[in-house]
Structure 1
Amino acid sequence: MRPSRVLLTFIAVLALVLPSLAACAPAPAPTPTPAPKAAEKPAEAKPAEQAKPAPTPTPVPAPSPTPTVAAKPAAPSRLVIVMGQQPDTLHPGIGSMMAKTEVEYALFAWPVVFNDKGEYIPWGVEQVPTLDNGGARFVGEGDDRHLEVTYKIKKGNKWHDGTPVTAKDMRYQWELYLDPKFPIADRSLIQKVYDVTVVDEQTAVYKFMSARQAREAAQKGFRGLDAKEYADFKDQKDPVVDPLYWTVGGYLPSHILSKIPADQQEASEFARKPIGNGPYKFKEWVPDQSITLEANPDFFLGAPKIQTVVFRIIKDTNAQLAALQAGEVDVVTQVQGPDLDKAPELDRLAAQGTYKPYYIPGTPWEHIDFNLDNEHLKDVRVRKAIAHAINREQLVEKVLYGKSRVAHSWIMPGSPAWAYDESCLVKYEYNPEKAKQLLAEAGYKPGPDGILVKDGKKLTLKLSTTDAALRKTTAQIIQQQLKQVGIDLQLEFLPGRGLFETKGPLRQRTFELGMYTWLSLPDPDRIDYMHSKNIPSPANNFTGNNFPGWRNPKADQLAVRGSQSLSEKERKPIYCELQRLWTDELPVLPLFQRVVVTVARANLENYRPTGSSTPETWNIHEWVLRS
């Protein structure tokens, strides 16, 4: 399954990609990923200071699965993984919390996975289908020409109840995600697929829309989705494609979920006790305390080396540190775990030799969403004034110990290298006087208490964010900085789940300013939070991640063009123009890149955390805890 274009995320994705507290530090531009090569023995994880940022990915073969023998003795071991948030759900198609993604990758083995080397590797299928290896190809002529992507499921890939994973499960997932009643966060990729053909039990062919089919969808809608979902295709002249077309494939247990209506799956037992196909099986979920999994001895990539995995929910970072110091836990993830503000304590633990902290350069970026329907924030001068009033360099120095840098776009330097260009950006230097000037131009005047007033209304705004320590510190600094220019900023700290859930302030768009992290994909296409059709609302069942409510026809057009081209040469000017438009209208204020901070026992082998929206647990079946 393709990682969510959201936070997944964390990301959320997701995740993922999906709202984690991952962070990013300066890093050199990535080098090209080598061509597909023979399988290598997985390398032992190294400290982050030796790590490199994920390069622009090229699909490569996966490591060969570890052969299993008839008798599979259970590993007599237990591992405790700490997360600072509880997942909102364990249904793979719903939600975008990074906490969910961490657990999900232990429960499910998706067709294609993005690894720690910045490569797409085949996990649940035999190869990553590309145009180069023949797994993908264009078929037909003229208006009927279309892209076909073929997946062949690996033998032995089966659900935890023993039912084989089949091509019917791939078709079912496509059908479910296109159901307008299903509360998926992002269907921008899957809705480009016109059909999924079941060739045999192990083979499925994803057929992307031809130009003719796309134009018809723009006129009549498609499979229950409204025609407006396809409005961008009304003049389509070329086959519909996607830059990450090889990630379109996914599967879900159709023999279970097909019996549950799409609009009831979020509240179903499956969402709390899923049946996956991954290295671990679900055992127990104690709300706000823990999620326990047991090893799947029949996992098709090889039985896990650790028998029991417990995801322990510890929301307070000081309590997490105490658990590390007491030796009670084995791994602390990036999900609201210790951030760079705890680096001195983590380094002292490392000096003792029991634990190893990782500070991994990555692509997550912290930002503030502006609700453009707010009476104050709908004026771009107010948004730009806020940008000039926030000293982001100071945030990097005080909050991140100078180990990161200010962000100016949703595209981070080197991710990918061809898409980031300083000349394409409108930047906002720290300039309180400029901020005051813009606010005066917008009609605001100082009140008796120093807070600006317009038409009898104070310039009071509420910033909603999570209750993580680093975010609290960041928000409090911003509060003081905005006060200096006459803006009264109220702070609201919510549990991660409360901020991101379907009924939360972001998706319901009841927030005014929202601060959280996006987990960037290794591609600049973020149509899910750029396009106006992805503004969550009752009309679209609150799908999409355009929380600010940015509506710009030109941006819509550019986002669609960029998402449908496979040529970097063609895409570069498209994303240059889109970045200039986005940074000028400023629906979102990027704050800083973040560094992914995670901690593991020094004797935990094959722990290979990534700097992307791929969670630490992506290869959990390979982990070995040495005595």
Structure 2
Amino acid sequence: MIRRFLASLLAFAVLAAAPAHAKDELVLALTQMPGTWNPVISSMLAKSLIANMTARPLTAFDADWKLVCLACTELPTVENGKARVIDLPDGKKGMEIDIELRDLRWGDGVPVTTKDVAFTLEVGKHPLSGVASSEGYKRVLKLDVKDDRRFTMTIDRVTFDYNSSALLLLPAHIEKPIFEANPAEYRNKTAYDTQSTNPGLAFGPYRIVEIVPGSRVTLEQNPTWTGEKPHFKRIVVKIIENTAALEANLLSGGVDYVLGELGLSLDQAIAFEKRHGAKYNVIYKPALIWEHIDVNLDNKLLADKRVRQAMLLAIDRKAISEKLFDGKQPIAHGGISDLDPMFSPMARQYNYDPAAAKKLLDEAGFSTIRNNVRQNAAGERLSIELGTTAGNRVRELVAQVIQSQLRQVGIEVRIKADPPRLFFEVMNRRNYNALGMYAWVQRPGGVPRSTLHSKEIPTAENGWSGQNYPGYANPQMDKALDDAERELDVDKRRAFFAEIQKLAADDLPSLPLFFRVDPFVIPKALKGVTPTGTLNSSTLWIEQWRWEGQ
């Protein structure tokens, strides 16, 4: 009897001392399905969250907003001699930057080499390739290949962020034949979409092994990954476009973790923490994510900036933040957050003032009101469409509040919510009617060139490259953006940033709403998830995620 008791006690002691069972599979969830898996075509947060598990950019900003090497071995700087200011043949100044790739391999065993760098630049520079933004590629005047892993890039200007390269490499051995067959059709024929589970498309800790459109993406460990071995053998990403359903899946155990960058809304997280906070670590991460409304400047009803200014004056953003976000989501006065080192408080700020809004609308020629809607002398009604992404309950609610508030000053708004993939395709082609509400994510100290420079307006001629969806063109803004990029002295650069913010606040090609605070509702057993608050998401460090608990 005693012997049996002692045996049971010993067994219990061994069990208690044993490590917690490690999960082989981690089930994640997010709210959007990418429209393409090619890393250089289109910009969509949902795609980067998953792609960051399968590949790495050359450099990225970590959680401390420090620039670090990911696919390179050492950050090139002027100080260490790996970056140099040079004289160009045309008499201007440029830079040479030495880069060495890490020892990396595509999932089919082929090494990642300078051939992939050269091919990626070729795609980026081609006018019909359909890359999200071709400007960065076109700046590379010369690629001097030293060997399979070392190369020197010569760029056409001196820039303060010369060593910040988000270059996402394409596998030349797979993609080059497809691209060279027909560059204009590349975006539709890329292997990333026609052979999405081809292991040769990944060189990160995971590779995609299954895609069920609109439902899930499954990833497994990449056996050729040369970095720190990930803790999970398999990751399943469920696509749940309705944010209300995310919470239900989390509580039922249908998912282990909802990605903080594109998951639960802020109001959901606040309520969730009150009810279930004991089982989760809830982090409210202030982010450089700008929730805003792009204005299609080709719409003649919105061409007069006084109309745009009136619209912003008529939206009570403070009340929306307090009622929907518990005051946690700060009002945005432009695209650069006050957390950013380049923020300027000198730009115009629009406080809620419906009386001033009405006055501006009168001055802009919309002084006649019939059936509660303003119209101009030509009888054109100030009736516009506001598009946004479907499934995001809070974003749709914000749209309804804005609709109601603009109605008070005589502007009729029709809300159109589309699935994210369709919405962003419409925005990229500039086919949206009037307004488009969504978010951009910034990098610390980054020049907002891709959204504000006239050369970044997507057109059929440039293969729909660029992210200036409003179609904004202002020579003063172009100069300020160019000057800010070229200025190495931080104090002088800050003056150019102030001019950028001043012009954007006056012209309002986009109506600023809020800077997002991303809620990360992390199960206590899930360790290693570190929110960044920048465009470089937490999944770039997926190999550090682990499960410590039952």
TM-score (norm 2): 0.90
SS at match of 1:194: strand
Q: Which residue of 2 aligns with 1:149?
A: 97
Q: Which residue of 1 aligns with 2:306?
A: 381
Say if 1:349 and 1:113 are closer, same or farther in 2 by CA, change over 3 A: farther
- 8 A contact 1:558–1:574 mirrored in 2: yes
SS at match of 2:461: helix
Measure the CA separation in 2 of the matches of 1:288 and 1:466.
Answer: 15
Match for 1:465 among 348, 372, 388? 388
Q: CA deviation at 1:469?
A: 0.8
Q: Which residue of 1 aligns with 2:335?
A: 410
SS at match of 1:293: strand
Q: Which residue of 2 aligns with 1:282?
A: 208
Measure the CA separation in 2 of the matches of 1:513 and 1:153.
Answer: 42
Measure the CA separation in 1 of the matches of 2:428 and 2:230.
Answer: 38
Equivalent runs, 1:151-190 vs 2, <5 Å? 151-155=99-103, 157-190=104-137
Measure the CA separation in 2 of the matches of 1:198 and 1:186.
Answer: 24
Q: Which residue of 1 aligns with 2:398?
A: 474
Measure the CA separation in 2 of the matches of 1:177 and 1:290.
Answer: 29
Alignment of 1:500 with 2:424, yes or no, is yes
Equivalent runs, 1:359-438 vs 2, <5 Å? 359-416=284-341, 419-423=342-346, 425-438=347-360
What is the one-letter code of the residue matched to 1:306? F
Measure the CA separation in 1 of the matches of 2:443 and 2:396.
Answer: 26
Equivalent runs, 1:583-598 vs 2, <5 Å? 583-598=505-520
- 8 A contact 2:430–2:470 mirrored in 1: no
Q: Give CA deviations for 1:361-399 in whole Å, capped at 9, x if unaligned.
A: 111111111111112100111111111111111111112
Q: Give CA deviations for 1:257-281 in whole Å, capped at 9, x if unaligned.
A: 1111233332235223151100001
- 8 A contact 1:346–1:357 mirrored in 2: no
Q: Which residue of 1 aligns with 2:411?
A: 487
Q: CA deviation at 1:144?
A: 6.7
Q: Which residue of 2 aligns with 1:61?
A: none
- 8 A contact 2:528–2:546 mirrored in 1: yes
Q: Which residue of 2 aligns with 1:322?
A: 248
Say if 1:586 and 1:146 are closer, same or farther in 2 by CA, change over 3 A: closer
Measure the CA separation in 1 of the matches of 2:192 and 2:225.
Answer: 21
Alignment of 1:136 with 2:83, yes or no, is yes
Q: Which residue of 1 aligns with 2:15?
A: none
Say if 1:439 and 1:246 are closer, same or farther in 2 by CA, change over 3 A: closer
Of 537-546 and 470-479, more deviation after overlay is shown by 537-546
Measure the CA separation in 2 of the matches of 1:506 and 1:95.
Answer: 8
Say if 1:345 and 1:359 are closer, same or farther in 2 by CA, change over 3 A: same
What is the one-letter code of the residue matched to 1:319? A
What is the one-letter code of the residue matched to 2:318? E
Measure the CA separation in 1 of the matches of 2:129 and 2:209.
Answer: 26
Alignment of 1:258 with 2:176, yes or no, is yes
SS at match of 2:84: strand
Say if 1:170 and 1:434 are closer, same or farther in 2 by CA, change over 3 A: same
Measure the CA separation in 1 of the matches of 2:57 and 2:366.
Answer: 53
Q: Which residue of 2 aligns with 1:121?
A: 68
Q: Which residue of 1 aligns with 2:9?
A: none
Measure the CA separation in 2 of the matches of 1:325 and 1:92.
Answer: 33
Measure the CA separation in 2 of the matches of 1:310 and 1:340.
Answer: 24
Q: CA deviation at 1:414?
A: 2.6
Measure the CA separation in 1 of the matches of 2:375 and 2:190.
Answer: 51
Say if 1:496 and 1:556 are closer, same or farther in 2 by CA, change over 3 A: same
Q: Give CA deviations for 1:524-564 in whole Å, capped at 9, x if unaligned.
A: 41111111121111121211111111111111111111122
Say if 1:409 and 1:571 are closer, same or farther in 2 by CA, change over 3 A: same
Measure the CA separation in 2 of the matches of 1:242 and 1:191.
Answer: 17
What is the one-letter code of the residue matched to 1:267? N
Q: CA deviation at 1:177?
A: 0.6
Measure the CA separation in 2 of the matches of 1:543 and 1:507.
Answer: 9
Say if 1:443 and 1:124 are closer, same or farther in 2 by CA, change over 3 A: closer
Measure the CA separation in 2 of the matches of 1:488 and 1:534.
Answer: 30
Q: Give CA deviations for 1:582-604 in whole Å, capped at 9, x if unaligned.
A: 21111111111111123232111
Say if 1:567 and 1:491 are closer, same or farther in 2 by CA, change over 3 A: same
Q: Which residue of 2 aligns with 1:517?
A: 439
- 8 A contact 1:349–1:356 mirrored in 2: no
Q: CA deviation at 1:250?
A: 4.6
SS at match of 1:264: helix
Greater relative contact order (Cα < 8 A, sep 6+): 1
What is the one-letter code of the residue matched to 2:507? E
Structure with higher helix content: 2
Match for 1:600 among 519, 522, 526? 522
Q: CA deviation at 1:349?
A: 5.4
- 8 A contact 1:366–1:516 mirrored in 2: yes
Q: Which residue of 2 aligns with 1:267?
A: 188
Alignment of 1:299 with 2:217, yes or no, is no
What is the one-letter code of the residue matched to 1:265? Y
Q: CA deviation at 1:335?
A: 5.1
Q: Which residue of 1 aligns with 2:10?
A: none
What is the one-letter code of the residue matched to 1:127? E
Q: Which residue of 1 aligns with 2:161?
A: 243
What is the one-letter code of the residue matched to 2:393? A
Measure the CA separation in 1 of the matches of 2:144 and 2:375.
Answer: 61
Q: Which residue of 2 aligns with 1:342?
A: 268
Measure the CA separation in 2 of the matches of 1:505 and 1:574.
Answer: 28
Structure 2's unaligned 5+ residue stretches are 1-21
Of 393-402 and 143-152, more deviation after overlay is shown by 143-152
Structure 1's unaligned 5+ residue stretches are 1-74, 210-238
- 8 A contact 1:296–1:304 mirrored in 2: no
Measure the CA separation in 1 of the matches of 2:427 and 2:411.
Answer: 21
- 8 A contact 2:83–2:95 mirrored in 1: yes
Q: CA deviation at 1:616?
A: 2.4
**Once the two structures are aligned, what percentage of the paired residues are identical?**
32
Q: Which residue of 2 aligns with 1:25?
A: none
What is the one-letter code of the residue matched to 2:184? D
Q: Give CA deviations for 1:471-514 in whole Å, capped at 9, x if unaligned.
A: 1111111111111111111111111111112xx14532433011
SS at match of 2:349: coil
- 8 A contact 2:116–2:171 mirrored in 1: yes
Q: CA deviation at 1:136?
A: 1.3
Say if 1:375 and 1:607 are closer, same or farther in 2 by CA, change over 3 A: same
Q: CA deviation at 1:84?
A: 0.5
Q: CA deviation at 1:336?
A: 4.2
TM-score (norm 1): 0.79
Measure the CA separation in 2 of the matches of 1:410 and 1:505.
Answer: 18
- 8 A contact 1:521–1:612 mirrored in 2: yes
SS at match of 1:464: strand
What is the one-letter code of the residue matched to 1:370? V
Say if 1:550 and 1:372 are closer, same or farther in 2 by CA, change over 3 A: same
Measure the CA separation in 1 of the matches of 2:429 and 2:531.
Answer: 29
Q: CA deviation at 1:149?
A: 0.9
Q: Give CA deviations for 1:385-428 in whole Å, capped at 9, x if unaligned.
A: 11111111111111211012211121111312xx22212x1121
Say if 1:140 and 1:458 are closer, same or farther in 2 by CA, change over 3 A: closer
SS at match of 1:204: strand
Alignment of 1:331 with 2:331, yes or no, is no
Measure the CA separation in 2 of the matches of 1:86 and 1:592.
Answer: 24
- 8 A contact 2:289–2:441 mirrored in 1: yes
Say if 1:146 and 1:384 are closer, same or farther in 2 by CA, change over 3 A: closer
Equivalent runs, 1:167-246 vs 2, <5 Å? 167-209=114-156, 239-241=157-159, 243-246=161-164
Q: CA deviation at 1:442?
A: 1.6
What is the one-letter code of the residue matched to 1:477? V
What is the one-letter code of the residue matched to 1:264? E
Q: Give CA deviations for 1:46-86 in whole Å, capped at 9, x if unaligned.
A: xxxxxxxxxxxxxxxxxxxxxxxxxxxxx860011101000
